[in-house]
Structure 1
Amino acid sequence: MAGDADYQAWWARRERQGASPSAVFDLMSLNRQINVADILPVVQCPTLVVHRRNDLIVDVEGGRELARLISNAEMLELPGDDHVPWTGDNIDMIANRIEEFLTGTKPSPVMDRVLATALFTDIVDSTRHAAALGDEAWNRLLHRHDTLVETVLERFRGTKIKSTGDGCLATFDGPARAVYAAMALGEAVTELGIEIRAGINTGEIHTNDGDVSGLAVHLAARVMDEAEPGECLVSRTVRDLAAGSELSFEDRGLRSLKGIPEAVRLFRASGK
C-alpha cells in the first residue's frame, strides 16, 4: 500500500492509538521470544498456512516451518512482500483459497456480465430544435425531457445508465417493460413539441461502475439509428422474448447495421 496515502494515514493512526513506541518495542521483543514449536505436532485440526515469500515482517521460512510441524497442514506461498493479508495484489486469491479450504468448494467467479434489455432513445432533429430555441430555452427543454425520462423509468422499473446529451441509455430486466417505457416516453415528450426515436435489444451486457457495454448494448444503439421519428424498433430477440405480452411487432426487414457483422431483422413495436 506504498502508494495509498489514505491507507498509510489510517495505519499510522491505528499504530499510534494502539500503544506507545516503548510499549510496542517491548511487545515485539516478547513476541520474538515465543516458541510453540514443541506443541505444533499435536495440532489435529485442518490447517492452512498462507505466507508471502518476501514478507518484510516475518521470514517465509517461519511459515514453512509452521506447516512442516503441523500434521497434514497445507502451505500456500504467494508472491509479494506485504505482511497483513488484506493488502497487496493477491487479496482475492487469499480470500478464495481460504473459502475453498473451509468449504471444500471453489468460490464461484464474480460475474460482471448479466442478461438485460438495453434501451436507447434520441430526440429527433435535436440540432435544429437547439438552433431554433437558443441555448437557454433548449437547456430548459432538455431538463423537462430528462424529468420525463426519470418518471417513465421509475414507472416501468428501468435503470438509467446515462444521458447521451439529447437522449438516454437505460436497462431493464424484461424486454416488454423496455418497450412499454419507450412508447410511454414517446407519448410523453409530445407535450414538449418534440419526438424521439428508440432502439431496444436484449442480450448479455458487461457492467462496470454503473456503466454498461458490450455487443448487445452496441446493437441497441444501432437499432435506434434505424428508427424513424416517433418509432420504437426492436431486435428479433426482443420480439421473441416479449411473446405473450400485449404488444405487436411489425417486421421491418433485414438491416445492415454499422459494426454488426451480420444483417439484423428489425421490428416496429406498438401496443395492441
Structure 2
Amino acid sequence: MDAERGARISTWGSGAPEPRYAEAEDGSVAYQVFGGGPRDLMLIGNWASNIEVMWEHPSMVRYLERLARFSRVICFDKRGAGLSDPVAMGALPTLEHWMDDARVVLDAVDSRSATLLGDAEGGPMAMMLAASHPQRTDALVLVNTFARLLRAPDYPIGIPEPTAELLLGEWRRNWGTGGVLQLTAPDVADDAQLQRWVGRYMRLSASPAAATRMYEWVLQLDVRSVLPSIQVPTLVLHKAQNRHYRIPMGRYIAEHIPGARLVELPGAAWYPPFVEAEQLLDEVEEFVTGDRAVPVDDRVLATVLFTDIVGSTDLAARLGDQRWLDLKLAHDDIVGSRIARYRGTHVSSTGDGFLALFDGPARAVRCASEIASAVRSLGIEVRAGLHSGEVEFQGDQVAGIAVHLAARVMAMAGAGIVLVSGTVKDLVVGSGIAFEDRGVHELRGVPGEWRLFEVAGTG
C-alpha cells in the first residue's frame, strides 16, 4: 500500500492525474488520487462532474493543489456523470448508488478512513455516508449544501414548489452554457473564460435531458432524518449570500448534527467551487489538520428489517414437530440467502423471523420484497417491517429506538406485506420503488404518530 501511495504522490505536479476505474456491482466508477498529505480527503461534489475536464481551468487547479498540500485527495465521477458508467436507460441514480460509488473508490485506493467534503448536491450523499459508515469517516465538511430543498409544513425554509419549477426551467435553458453563472456565481458571471469552461464542463458531465432528470430528482431529496445519526466531527461552511442554497439551510444542518460547527462566509458564489474559495479553504485546512475527536464506531445509521412467519403457531401445531422443523429450515435458507445477496447483516433470528441491518435502504426494501415473494413457494407467508435510524451495537446485538420502531412497523403488516416508515420512503427517492400510503398510526411503545407505506413495487 505504501509503495502504491508513494507512486501516486510522485506524479503530482506533472499534470492532471490519470483517471482510473473502480468496479462496482453494476458499473465502473472513474476516480483520481493525488496529493501528499498524511490524511485522506474525499471530494463529493456537484452531481454534474468530469474529473478530467476539471483540470482545464487554472483556478480549479489551484483549488485542488491547495487541498493536496495537506491531504491525499480522492475524487470521482458518480455513476451517470462524467467518465463513470451511466445508470440504466431512463433511470436515475440514488443516494445509495452514490454511496456505493464512494465506498468502492475508497476500497480501490486502500483508504481505511477519510474526511468527506460534501459540496452542493454532494452534501446529502456525504451525510448518508458519514452516518452509515462512521468507521470509514474521520470527519465531515459540508459546503453550501442542504438536507432538503423543497418547502414542507415542518420545513418552511425550503424552496416553494412554484419557485423550484422556475429554477428548473432556468437550468434547462442554460445547461451547457456559461449562463448558469448568473444563478451560481453572479459576481463573476461576465468572465468569458469562466463561461467557456463552465459550459464545456457541464456538457461533458451530462446531457441536457439527463441534467433535467437529475435536477428533478435532487428536488425530491430529503435526508433530514439522517442528521442526528452523524457522530463524526462536522464543519458546515455556507456562503451568507447564497441565493440558491440559502443560509438557513446551512444553519438547519448545523443545528441538527450533534456538535457541528457552522461558519458563515461572505459572498454568494457556490459553483464552481473555486470561486471566492480562499477563506473557505483556510477553514477546511484548519479543520482537517487540527485535533479531532475519535469517531464513535458503536453507533451507525442503518435500515432495520424485521421479518416474521404469519400464523406460525397454528402451522407448527398442524404440521407436527419434524415437518415444521423442515419447513423452518427451508424458510431460514431462503431468508438468509436473500439478506446476503443484498449485502445485509443478519443480526439474529427472532423465533420465526429475522432481524437484519442494511447500510442502504433501497437494498433493504428490495430484499424484504424478494423474501416475501420467495417464501410463498413453501406455502407460507411472511410479513416485514423496515425503519431507518440510528442503532447501537451491544456486543453481537443491536439496540435503539430504530430497532424497536422497525419491530412495531412489522407488527402492523399483514400476510405477504412489506411495510416501511416514512423515513425509509424519503431515503429511497429516485430508486424506482413504489409505495402505497397506509395512513398514520400510533405504534405501541413509540411516542408520536407514524405514517406507514406498503411496498407496491420495486422497479
| 1:168 counterpart (335, 344, 354) | 354
1:114-165 residue CA offsets vs partner (Å, 9 max, x unmatched): 0000000000000011001011111111111111111101111111000011
Offset at residue 208 of structure 1 (A): 1.8
Offset at residue 246 of structure 1 (A): 1.7
Residue in structure 2 matched with residue 181 of structure 1 by the alignment: 367
| 2:336 counterpart (150, 160, 166) | 150
| 1:238 counterpart (424, 436, 440) | 424
Residue in structure 1 matched with residue 310 of structure 2 by the alignment: 124
Counterparts of 1:222 and 1:270, CA distance in 2: 20
The equivalences for 1:98-117 within 5 A come to 105=291, 107-117=293-303
Offset at residue 225 of structure 1 (A): 0.3
Contact 1:183 1:270 in 2 (8 A): no
Does 1:217 find its partner at 2:409? Answer: no
Residues 109/179 of structure 1: CA separation in 2 closer, same or farther (3 Å cut):
closer
Residue in structure 1 matched with residue 174 of structure 2 by the alignment: none
RMSD over aligned Cα atoms: 1.4
Counterparts of 2:295 and 2:337, CA distance in 1: 36
Counterparts of 2:410 and 2:401, CA distance in 1: 14
The equivalences for 1:17-56 within 5 A come to none
Offset at residue 110 of structure 1 (A): 3.4
- Supply the AA of the counterpart residue of 2:455: A
Secondary structure at the aligned position of 2:447 is classed as coil
Residue in structure 1 matched with residue 250 of structure 2 by the alignment: none
The equivalences for 1:17-96 within 5 A come to none
Secondary structure at the aligned position of 1:169 is classed as strand
1:238-264 residue CA offsets vs partner (Å, 9 max, x unmatched): 000011012101110001100111010
Residues 244/104 of structure 1: CA separation in 2 closer, same or farther (3 Å cut):
closer
Counterparts of 1:110 and 1:245, CA distance in 2: 30
Q: Which has the larger radius of gyration?
A: 1
1:161-194 residue CA offsets vs partner (Å, 9 max, x unmatched): 0001100000001111111001100111011100
Residue in structure 2 matched with residue 38 of structure 1 by the alignment: none
Counterparts of 2:347 and 2:430, CA distance in 1: 28
Contact 1:148 1:185 in 2 (8 A): yes
Secondary structure at the aligned position of 2:430 is classed as coil
Secondary structure at the aligned position of 2:303 is classed as strand
Secondary structure at the aligned position of 1:148 is classed as helix
Counterparts of 1:174 and 1:138, CA distance in 2: 33
Does 1:252 find its partner at 2:458? Answer: no
TM-score by length of 2: 0.36
Q: Which runs of 5+ in 2 are unaligned?
A: 1-288
Does 1:229 find its partner at 2:415? Answer: yes
Contact 1:172 1:178 in 2 (8 A): yes
- Count of paired positions: 170
1:72-97 residue CA offsets vs partner (Å, 9 max, x unmatched): xxxxxxxxxxxxxxxxxxxxxxxxxx
- Supply the AA of the counterpart residue of 2:343: R
Residue in structure 1 matched with residue 453 of structure 2 by the alignment: 267
| Identity within the alignment, % | 55
- Supply the AA of the counterpart residue of 2:313: T
1:8-38 residue CA offsets vs partner (Å, 9 max, x unmatched): xxxxxxxxxxxxxxxxxxxxxxxxxxxxxxx
Residues 104/240 of structure 1: CA separation in 2 closer, same or farther (3 Å cut):
closer
Secondary structure at the aligned position of 2:307 is classed as strand
Flag as ranges the 4+ runs of structure 1 deviating above 6 A.
Answer: none
